[in-house]
Amino acid sequence: MMKTNLTLWITTLALLTIATATLIWQHSSLSATRHEIAELRQETRVQESPAPTTAVAAQIATPPLDRLSADGLLALLPQGEEDMGAIYRAVPIIFEQLEDYSSDELIELMAEMDELSKSDPPKAGMLGLIKSLLMVIVAEEVPERVLAMVEKDGAGTGSELRAAAFAGLARKDPDRARQLLEDADWPARQIQVAKAVLLGELLKSDLPAALELFREDRSDLLTTSGAVISDVSSDPAVRDSLWVAVRSESDPVVRYELAKGLIAGAFIRGGPEEMRKAFAEADFDDVNLKSAIVQEFAGSALPTDPDQTYAWIRESLPAEAVPQALARALGSWARRDFNAAGTWLGEQEDSPARDEATGMFARTVVQINPLAAVTWAASISDKEMRRTALDATISQWSQDDPDAASSWADENGIDTSELPEILRTTKE
């Protein structure tokens, strides 16, 4: 019986339809079942209420055919429709009609589609889309045959088909997949993508081999390794083994990428709270690694849950490193939403961390709201930090509106004798 991944084939059809390249195999952990297909079809019925008047809805009630021809398969799609959404919603119907077909039968059907495309060119475009879908399905069972088909006629050599076939091969036989990559004459980008697929499979089945691949091919894997590690870390057993690898890995780059992917996975699963918990349980010994991970994620996490993130920063770093880490994260938040960042900052108690964060906040928002920026700078408790922040913000403000900057400085008793010439000239 033919089985495949629901997310994989739906995503592939959508991507081929809009000609968008992406990594379709990063979300291939759940296998579709008849029950899932039935649920999807039921959702389609509900969405098309009150009555199944469209071509797609009418086809839902179509009984299975004994043997689909290429023309019969094409007939399952909405006729005369240019709405790609309607075609997209018809995909589960095609899948259900074909779910009992063997890989050999599907390949025979694809050959019929090729012949029909030659004899009836107007149908070639839609047949090509269906064939692409079938090739992805078959790639789950007989990946090397699909790879051979791709190489033979060039179909999909620049798209996701080769990647889907390689993903199937990596799942079934990682050693064969790695051997194939050594001799593959593919574009560099496709080699990188294939290695990412292989890394993901090896992380789940053969961690030493995965780490060996990572060390040998870091240049190809660094751009995608974080997403791959984050994805596979949803499995608790894999996650635990990866944390062991973080603590024992001698290559600092590989160690950092492993930790970064694991923390990213925790953040995706449960936000800053889950990330904080995972970080604590990881029991880092490497202070530099801890600092790098905090720097990597604090800016994204702070807007999501500032209290949890600030607590994570304080408990993860030495006390002297906290102010700068908070300031950097708050500056990132302020560039996206300075009102929300300022509201949260205003609720914090006076401390060196708050002072440094306030200085960063003021310097970040001065080009958006200079009056707010200098007001924040003036609120800093530490005298030296306050003066530094005021110099920076008033100087920046004076470049755009020297009169307003000078007036504010006079009204608030700010000595501007050491500020830029433009401000002093205005005062004179």
Confidence of residue 327 (pLDDT cuts 50, 70, 90): very high
Residue 70 to residue 131: CA distance in whole angstroms? 10
Round the average pLDDT of the chain to a whole number and report it: 78
User: For 82-91, 192-201, 304-313, which range has the lowest pLDDT when averaged over its residues?
Assistant: 82-91
Would you place residue 173 in the very low, low, confident or very high pLDDT band (cuts 50, 70, 90)?
confident
Instruction: Using the predicted structure, report yes or no on whether residue 40 has a pLDDT greater than 50.
Output: no
The mean per-residue pLDDT over the stretch 183-201 comes to 86
- Average of per-residue pLDDT across 344-350: 92
Q: Would the pTM count as exceeding 0.75?
A: no
CA distance 301 to 310: 9
Mind listing the pLDDT tens digit for each residue in 281-295? 887 778 889 899 999
Look up tokens 């062991």; give the residue.
244
Sequence-distant (≥ 6) Cβ neighbours of residue 348 within 8 angstroms:
310, 354, 357
Is the CB of residue 3 less than 8 Å from the CB of residue 31? yes
Cβ(95)–Cβ(46) under 8 Å?
no
Cis omega (within 30 of 0) on the bond before 306?
A: no
How high is the pLDDT of residue 328?
92
Give 49 or 225, the one with higher predicted confidence. Answer: 225
Give the per-residue SS3 of 149-188: HHHHHCCCCCCHHHHHHHHHHHHHCHHHHHHHHHHCCCCH
Q: What is the pLDDT of residues 49-91, one digit of tens each?
A: 444 444 443 443 444 446 778 888 778 877 665 566 777 777 7
pLDDT band (50, 70, 90) for residue 98: confident
Distance between CA atoms of 312 and 295, rounded to whole angstroms? Answer: 12
As to burial, measured by CB atoms within 10 angstroms (0-12 exposed, 13-18 middle, 19+ buried), residue 103 is middle
Is 285 exposed, middle or buried, given 0-12, 13-18 or 19+ CB atoms closer than 10 A?
Answer: exposed
Residues 377-412 have pLDDT tens digits of 999 999 899 989 998 899 889 888 888 888 888 888
Going by pLDDT thresholds of 50, 70 and 90, the confidence category of residue 43 is: low
Kindly tell me if the per-residue pLDDT of 341 is higher than 50: yes
User: Which residues have a Cβ under 8 Å from the Cβ of 329 and sit 6 or more positions away?
Assistant: 298, 299, 301, 302, 309, 313
Predicted confidence (pLDDT) at residue 276 exceeds the cutoff of 90: yes
Provide the percentage of residues in the chain whose pLDDT is more than 70. 78
Interatomic CA distance for residues 352 and 317, integer angstroms: 15
pLDDT surpassing 80 at residue 305 = yes
Indicate if the pLDDT at residue 39 is higher than 60: no
Whether the predicted pLDDT of 425 surpasses 80? no
At 278, the pLDDT band (50, 70, 90 cuts) reads very high
Q: What is the mean pLDDT of residues 263-282?
A: 92
- In terms of residues, how long is the chain? 428
User: What is the 3-class SS of the chain, one letter each residue?
Assistant: CCCCCHHHHHHHHHHHHHCCCCCHHHHCCCCCCHHHHHHHHHHHHHHCCCCCCCHHHHHHCCCCCCCCCHHHHHHCCCCCCCCHHHHHHHHHHHHHHHCCCCHHHHHHHHHHHHHHHHHCHHHHHHHHHHHHHHHHHHHHHCHHHHHHHHHHHCCCCCCHHHHHHHHHHHHHCHHHHHHHHHHCCCCHHHHHHHHHHHHHHHHHHCHHHHHHHHHHCHHHHHHHHHHHHHHHCCCHHHHHHHHHHHHHCCCHHHHHHHHHHHHHHHHHHHHHHHHHHHHHHHCCCCHHHHHHHHHHHHHHHHHHCHHHHHHHHHHHCCHHHHHHHHHHHHHHHHHHHHHHHHHHHHCCCCCHHHHHHHHHHHHHHCCCCHHHHHHHHHCCCCHHHHHHHHHHHHHHHHHHCHHHHHHHHHHCCCCCCCCCHHHHHHHC
Report residue 363 as tokens. Answer: 């310097």
* Amino acid of residue 92: P
pLDDT at 68: 77
